[in-house]
Structure formats: structure tokens, C-alpha cells
Structure 1
Amino acid sequence: MIATGGKSIYGASVGILMLDARFPRIPGDMGNALTWPFPVHYRIVRNASPDLVVRRRAEGLLDAFVDAARGLVEDGVDGITTNCGFLSLFQKELSEAVPVPVVTSSLMQVEMVNRLLPTGKRAGVLTISASTLTTEHLRSALVPDGTPIGSTEGGQEFTRAILGNELVLDIEKARADNVEAALAMKQNHPELGALVLECTNMCPYAADIQKATDLPVYSIVSLVSWFQAGLRPPEF
């Protein structure tokens, strides 16, 4: 057997562009490496704070994300993703900047999930910040117009702690915020057939949301797991 080189890092097919944040990343969070059943390679985009990316459209950060994505490819990854659904705004530019597949946002699942659902049902989006999730964010991810949107804004913990980049997170209060927001969506939208979690920090609560709503729940974990399966198919 002969081995060939050409990369700096082997075995981590997925490269993740990380926000520059300090809040706790518990298991299930995209930024906790224990979440993944396969190796991933992280790169932090400095000064890309949660507030700047989510509330201020990642203003002035495109070049930094492009540089970081190119760095991940140089290191040896086979595909790029990000750890914020609001970065759908950069899908086109990042795809054009690197020679590997790019999936910027969990929102990119919505159209596919709609195709899976029974007639008369559609997917809804649960986001950390409905007030700043614009039509441009949604259309960049090909989310159909009129898709139901719910949010943890107004809750007691989750949105405040994550977007405030706080050092302490009350996990049970954050879980309650997510479940309550999902239940409100189900009550307000009887046509709801599934939920797509925009925020990558919602993933630790996906099972709780599914149990409470009795609806399928899709997240960045489900999307990147699918993504990685194509980059590195299992051998049988």
C-alpha cells in the first residue's frame, strides 16, 4: 500500500466556520466537538460576534469568512459549513470562493422538508431572532415565501444569553424557551408538518421539541450529518 499526501489534516471532511463567541457550547451545540460522530475541523472568524451576525447582517465580515473558508480548504477539508443560520446571506459568495461544497445554513433544509410532508402540511422555521430574520436571509436559503416563522425572542433565557454572548446559560430555561416557542407555532399554524431549527445553538433541545410537538424536527446537526455522508460515504 502506498499513501499519498497533499493535505495538512486528514479525516475531518467537514470544516466549520465558527462565530467568535464565549457563551457555553453544551453537547448538541454545533460548536461542541462531542456533538459529532465524525471528526470536524473548526476555524473561528475573529470579531464575528453573535450580535453582529444575527442582528446586524454580518456587516463587514464577508471577506473574513471567505478567507477563513479558504484556509479550511487549504488545511484539507472537503466541505464547508457555518455555525449560524443567518449566514445564508453568504451562501453565494462562499460557494464562489472555494472549490468544495458549501452549506451555510440550516434554513437550506426547508424546501426539501416540504417535499417530504403530506399534502396540506409544510415546514416552519424556529429562529433565535425573528425580528432580524429578513426576506433576504430566507430567499438566500430558498425558503418559500409564507413559511411560518417562530422565535425564542421574548423568552426568559435562550435568545438573551446567546445573542448577549453571556458566560452563563441556564440550560433548563433555554430548553423551556425553545419548547414553548415551538408549541406556540404549532398552535398558531395548524398546517405545520415539521420544524426546521435555524439556530445552531437550538440543537441540544431538538429532541425535547420533537416530543412536545410530535412533529419531525430538523437542525444543522441533521443537515451536516447528511452533508458529511456525501463527502465521506461509509464503506460496506
Structure 2
Amino acid sequence: MNIQSSSSERARLGILMLDSTFPRILGDVGNADTWPFPVRYAIVPGATPHAVVCEDSEPFVQAFIEAGRGLVAEGCTGIATTCGFLAPLRSRLASALGVPVAASSLEQAPQIAACLPADKRVGILTISASTLSSALLQSAGVPPKTPVQGVDGGSFAKCILGNETRLDVAAARAEMEAGAKALVSAHPNVGAILLECTNMVPYAQDIHTATGLPVHSIYGYLRWFHQSLAPSHFDN
């Protein structure tokens, strides 16, 4: 199933959506109004948040490829996904689709780390620390021993992973702030926070206010990614 954004301008960025029913509030990668440019979506049947985050994304590889091919056929020249846990699929998606792929927010970790002072490191806030394996982090190029803090078990995680139809935004905001503070408290040398989960973007400013640190997410990543697909014009 494909969903076009409301803009009549051609969509260069195609976004592969998990099979979800939870609310896509403003700021969420799956809300077309989040983006200052047109996007095109394709839902991957059966690839629910719980299946991808808590089980295994491997059974859905071909389904992601097929959905991606549909987006490329419709004119998309770059593909992204809506889950940080899909980093292991990036190389296969890029090879199969023949276009650049941004599969996970985690892929930014090496560049973020390179920007920080020598005594600082990037820290990751994730929806599920219990299933964010070292192998998955390695597939995204995340530096070894990068600190990770989860919001496992809270109302936000239960809503997203359980595909619930109601999201308590205020509770989710409080959980993000608490998780970020716990990350920084446990690892005082964290100099920037990277949000693994694409659904955490609406709370990025709250996390920044709570910690005073730079906050990176899929939002900044895909704005950078899109700039290469549709470079800005400067009328000189």
C-alpha cells in the first residue's frame, strides 16, 4: 500500500513503513506533515513494530525489497525506513533497489562521534535496550562500547511495540526525559544523544532541554539525505 504526501511536487524520498496502527503524531517519521518536502510511503505487510524490534527482521527482507521497488518505480531516488532496528538490511536494500538507502538513525553514530571532543562520546536512547544487540549496532557502524539507554516497559514502548491506537504523549515525553537523564547520569562523558527510534523525534527538544546536549535523530538524518536527492537551488 502506497501513500503519497499532500504536496503535488515530485517525491524524491521514499519511506518504507512498518505495518503499524499507533498514532503518527507531528514529528513522527510516518507523518507526511513532519517533512518540509514531499515524501512517498509504502507499508511493508506483516512487518509490525514488535516483529522487527523484538523478534527478527530477516523474514521480511524480501517484502521490504518489493515495497522499495514499488517506490523506486514511482520515481523515488532514495529510500529510508521507519525503524532504527533495520540497520542490518541497508546493504541488501541498496543492492536490490539500485538507489541510496538510509535504513536507520543509528547509521549517524560514527559521524556524530567524530564531531565530538576527544573526551566525549555519543550515547543512544532506544525503545528497546533489551533487544538492541551488539551485532545490530555493529551493522550500523556504531563505535564499540557506545552507551545505550532504553525506555523499555514504559507507556511509549508499550504503545509502539503493541501497535496500540492511543498514545499518551505527556507520559511519553516524561519517559524520554527520564531515559535521557539516566543515560547521562550513568555515562557523564556522553556529549551527544542519538535517538534510535524514529518515533522519538517529537520529543527531541524536550530531551535537549533536559540534558543540554545535542540530540540527533532520523529527522536530521533524512533532511541531510534528501538534500542530496534534491539539491537546493541558489539564484545568483
Is TM more than 0.5 here?
yes
Give matches, 1:167-186, under 5 Å. Answer: 167-186=165-184
The offset of 1:89, in angstroms, is 1.5
2:201 aligned partner? 203
Give matches, 1:135-214, under 5 Å. Answer: 135-155=134-154, 157-214=155-212
Give matches, 1:208-227, under 5 Å. Answer: 208-227=206-225
Contact 1:52 1:59 in 2 (8 A): no
The offset of 1:140, in angstroms, is 1.0
1:53 aligns with 2:44: no
How many positions carry a matched residue from both structures? 227
Q: Which amino acid aligns with 1:197?
A: L
- Could you give the per-residue CA deviations for residues 131-176 of structure 1, whole angstroms, max 9, x where no partner exists? 0111121111100110000111133x11111101101111000111
1:128 aligns with 2:134: no
Aligned-partner Cα distance in 1 for 2:62–2:188: 42
Aligned-partner Cα distance in 2 for 1:231–1:139: 27
Aligned-partner Cα distance in 2 for 1:118–1:139: 22
Aligned-partner Cα distance in 1 for 2:49–2:205: 24
Q: Is the partner of 1:173 in helix, strand or coil?
A: helix
Aligned-partner Cα distance in 2 for 1:66–1:154: 31
Aligned-partner Cα distance in 1 for 2:174–2:9: 39
4+ runs deviating over 2 angstroms: none
The offset of 1:57, in angstroms, is 1.8
Aligned-partner Cα distance in 2 for 1:10–1:26: 23
The offset of 1:21, in angstroms, is 0.3
Aligned-partner Cα distance in 2 for 1:153–1:229: 34
Q: Which amino acid aligns with 2:34?
A: T
- Could you give the per-residue CA deviations for residues 33-84 of structure 1, whole angstroms, max 9, x where no partner exists? 1100000010000111000000012141000001111111111001000000
Q: Is the partner of 2:37 in helix, strand or coil?
A: coil
1:76 aligns with 2:81: no
Contact 1:10 1:76 in 2 (8 A): no
CA-based RMSD: 1.0
2:117 aligned partner? 118
The offset of 1:10, in angstroms, is 5.9
Q: Is the partner of 1:190 in helix, strand or coil?
A: coil
Q: Give percent identity, aligned residues only.
A: 51
Q: Is the partner of 2:166 in helix, strand or coil?
A: coil
Q: Is the partner of 1:61 in helix, strand or coil?
A: helix
1:16 aligned partner? 15
The offset of 1:128, in angstroms, is 0.2
